[in-house]
Amino acid sequence: MTATTTSTSTTTRLSSATVRGYALGSVGTGGFATLPGLVLAYYLTDTLGVAAAAATVVVFIPKVLDVVLNPLIGSWSDASAHRTGGRRRFLLVGAALLPIFFALTFAVPDGLGTAAGAVWVAVAFIASAMAFSFFQVPYIALPAELTDDYHERSRLMAWRVAVLGIAILLFGAGGPELRELGGGGRWGYLVMGVVAGIVLGLGMFAASRVAPSRPTRTAATGGGVSFAASLRVVRSSAPFRVLLTAFALQALATGTMLAGAQYVATYVLGDERSVSILFVALVGPAVAVMPLWSRSVRAWGKRRAYLLASTLFFAATVALLGLMTGGGWWVFAVVALAGVGYAGMQMLPMSMLPDVISDHERSESGTARAGVFSGVWTAVETVGLALGPALVLAILAVTGFVSSTGDEHAVQSATAVNGIILAFSAAPAILTALSVVALLRYRLAAEDAHAQNRSH
């Protein structure tokens, strides 16, 4: 039996095909997590003319459905894996439907008014989020089923996050460029939505091919598919609750920074297209430093490495408060430092999640379900990322930001500009500091075992 189909082994190294195939799924997950967070709020306020407060509702409320839907999809995928031998059908459904609904999100017709356009975006984005959930939930469950090895999971996630970094660069920097190549305005967003949607679907389809095609250990016990059952799983694992809390706060922190980047580029740095440079600065280091984070796991363990990554990101966001006194080349250097921490904040918790699932399975005599864990995880992550743009829009509304239509940007007051800077720096800094406090409480047998091995 090859490593692609071997469920768990502490001695078998995952095949290169499995690692590559799984990593390609990050083209879909990274793209969908990045591009809407970067441009959707801006599309609503500066192209459709939706007021910031109303745009907050459009961006955030559709994602609230994921709180209920994702745990249910996790349970359904567990039950399906038990019956059919795999989760592939869920992955394929998401890969097929997401490109369609994603393109529709940015396809508001020219003749549609502001209110109707906001409704159009909300409905299409709900459908996009649902399609994405059908892929994302079983995708996150796969590592716990591919290997039990502490370091192989780090290797798997290192490759995944390296591709994630490339995907974020591709969508974060390339998305706005596609918008401009399409002529800007509504037509530019439509071109961006269609092209980006196709690329998302291709990456997701590639990842579906590595899904195990035999009954999984974590699905073998069956069980209910109710939301209440999912919550019981969360409550039963203290390490999961701690890790989830830290990751959720950081999802909100990064979501806030992503959503604020376009506003900083336009109204603070004075160049709308400099958002692409900001994204290269933030995500570019991820690919380069990923081997260093992998080595740090072997030297220090995942928890200590995760604390270091979080601290680096926190320090960089605090330094960005210097925008209050003016911009310059230093902004991109500080954002690059944040990118080094960001890389670890992506890789390390995702490699810790399978450890938590396996630990729970051992303690509960095989009753854990990977799908339920990943469903709750992705639900919280989705809400955190959605709250980022919503938090930015709320800060803008409070500080007097004036929305625009067409290609002309309204002149902003000094208070509104300061609000943009606070949304981009202070808000992520506070959220990251809270995540570090949560992470200090993380304890797991796998971490203790790794520490003992280092001491011998």
DSSP lists the bridge partners of residue 405 as: 48
Higher pLDDT, 285 or 306: 306
pLDDT over 70 percentage in the chain? 87
The Cα 182–Cα 166 span in angstroms is: 23
C-alpha 41 chain-centroid distance: 17
Residue 300: pLDDT band (50, 70, 90) is confident
- Structure confidence by residue, pLDDT tens digits, 257-276: 988 988 898 888 888 778 87
Read off the tokens for 369.
Answer: 């379900």
Amino acid 216: pLDDT: 45
Residue 214 lies in a domain: no
Indicate if the alpha-carbon torsion angle 73, 371, 13, 159 is positive or negative: positive
Residue 403 lies in a domain: yes
DSSP lists the bridge partners of residue 48 as: 405
Under DSSP, the state recorded for 201 is: H
pLDDT at 436 over 90: yes
Amino acid 196: pLDDT: 93
The Cα 349–Cα 372 span in angstroms is: 17
Residue 295 lies in a domain: yes
Residue ranges making up the domain that contains 296: 16-206+227-455
Most confident of 312-316, 342-346, 363-367: 312-316
C-alpha separations of 73 from 137, 206, 254, 255, 403 in Å: 7, 20, 25, 24, 38
Number of H helices, E strands in the chain: 15, 0
Task: Please answer whether residues 78 and 221 qualify as being in contact, where contact means their C-beta atoms are separated by less than 8 angstroms.
Answer: no
Amino acid 166: pLDDT: 85
Buried b (16+ CB within 10 A) or exposed e, 434-443: bbbebbeebe
Q: Whose CA is closest to 256, among 380, 432, 403?
A: 432
Higher pLDDT, 87 or 222: 87
The CATH number linked to 182 is 1.20.1250.20
- Total domains in the chain come to 1
Mean pLDDT of 386-411: 82
- Structure confidence by residue, pLDDT tens digits, 167-200: 877 887 788 888 888 877 888 899 999 999 999 9
Mean pLDDT of 383-393: 82
DSSP lists the bridge partners of residue 280 as: none
Residues 6+ apart with CB under 8 A from 376: 70, 71, 74, 230, 231, 233, 234, 244
The Cα 215–Cα 83 span in angstroms is: 7
Based on the number of CB atoms within 10 Å of its own CB, is 454 exposed (0-12), middle (13-18) or buried (19 or more)? Answer: exposed
- Structure confidence by residue, pLDDT tens digits, 203-259: 999 998 887 765 444 434 444 445 566 567 667 788 898 999 999 999 899 889 988
Under DSSP, the state recorded for 257 is: H
Average pLDDT of the chain to the nearest whole number = 82
Mean pLDDT of 394-407: 82
Mean pLDDT of 342-351: 90
Count the neighbouring beta carbons within 10 Å of the beta carbon of residue 246: 26
Residue 316: pLDDT band (50, 70, 90) is very high
In the three-class reduction of DSSP (H, G, I as helix; E, B as strand; rest coil), residue 405 is classed as strand
Residue 3 lies in a domain: no
Count the neighbouring beta carbons within 10 Å of the beta carbon of residue 231: 13
- Structure confidence by residue, pLDDT tens digits, 101-155: 999 999 998 878 888 988 999 999 999 989 998 999 989 888 877 777 778 888 8
Residue 89 lies in a domain: yes
Residue 290 lies in a domain: yes
Amino acid 368: pLDDT: 47
Amino acid 230: pLDDT: 56
Mean pLDDT of 39-47: 86
DSSP notation for 290-339: HHHHHHHHHHH-HHHHHHHHHHHHHHHHHHGGGGGG---HHHHHHHHHHH
Residue 10: pLDDT band (50, 70, 90) is very low
Residue 96 lies in a domain: yes
Amino acid 262: pLDDT: 85
Residue 4 lies in a domain: no
Residues 6+ apart with CB under 8 A from 33: 168, 385
Amino acid 2: pLDDT: 37
